[in-house]
Amino acid sequence: MAYFDDMAKALQDYPITDVVLEIFEVSIPGAVLNQREQGTFRVRVTNNGPLNLTGVTLRIKGQNGATVAGNSPAAPFEAEFVTPELLPINAHGGSTFTNTQKFKAPGSPQDAKTLIKATLEAWDANFDRILNGHSRPLDIPKGTYAAEVAPA
């Protein structure tokens, strides 16, 4: 059972050890972010491990008084929301990203603080990368035939 316990632990830790989330393409209206101004951003998800990821959704949260909204023009600004499912993410460095999301700055001035936080909400994985596409000629296992050869 140790093998399966180790595998279950590795799967539980997979998002922590092998998945990277990055907020990028942040755009604000001017050189500085003013109170209650709106900006946009995207989130990149990179999968550095051996499993393909599917069914990935992200939870986007406003922090320190900021609010966030999805990419729909009618999406309301709120404390947090869950993204639609992202495209599958291949193993060993594959990545995908969200559509452009929105955020609104807090209503009062403040020193630099985290305004947006993105975390994995849901994910599934498959072993396709590990199990498929790894064939090559092998000397073992092998089939052999042995027989005595008598004089004719």
Residue 55: per-residue pLDDT: 96
CATH code: domain of residue 93? 2.60.40.10
Residue 151 lies in a domain: no
Domain that holds residue 9: 2-131
pLDDT at 134: 65
pLDDT of 135 reads 67
The pLDDT value given to residue 149: 86
Cis peptide bond N-terminal to 141, omega within 30: yes
pTM for the full model? 0.82
Say if CB 81 and CB 70 are below 8 A apart.
yes
Classify residue 148: in a domain, yes or no.
Answer: no
pLDDT computed for residue 114 by the predictor:
96
Q: Number of folded domains in the chain? A: 1
68 part of a folded domain: yes
User: What pLDDT sits at residue 10?
Assistant: 87
131, two tokens: 């199990």
Q: Give the pLDDT score at 130.
A: 79
Q: Is residue 114 part of a domain?
A: yes
Neighbours of 66 (CB within 10 A): 22
Residue 61 in any domain: the answer is: yes
Neighbours of 26 (CB within 10 A): 13
Strand 67-69 relative to strand 94-97, pairing: unpaired
The CA–CA distances, whole Å, from 30 to 26, 56, 113 equal 12, 33, 18
Q: Give the count of beta carbons closer than 10 Å to the beta carbon of residue 41.
A: 20
Asked whether residue 136 is domain-assigned, the answer is no
Mean pLDDT by 10 residues, the chain (152 residues): 86 92 95 95 95 96 96 93 96 93 95 95 89 72 80 87
> Is 107 part of any domain?
yes
| Inside any domain, residue 89 | yes
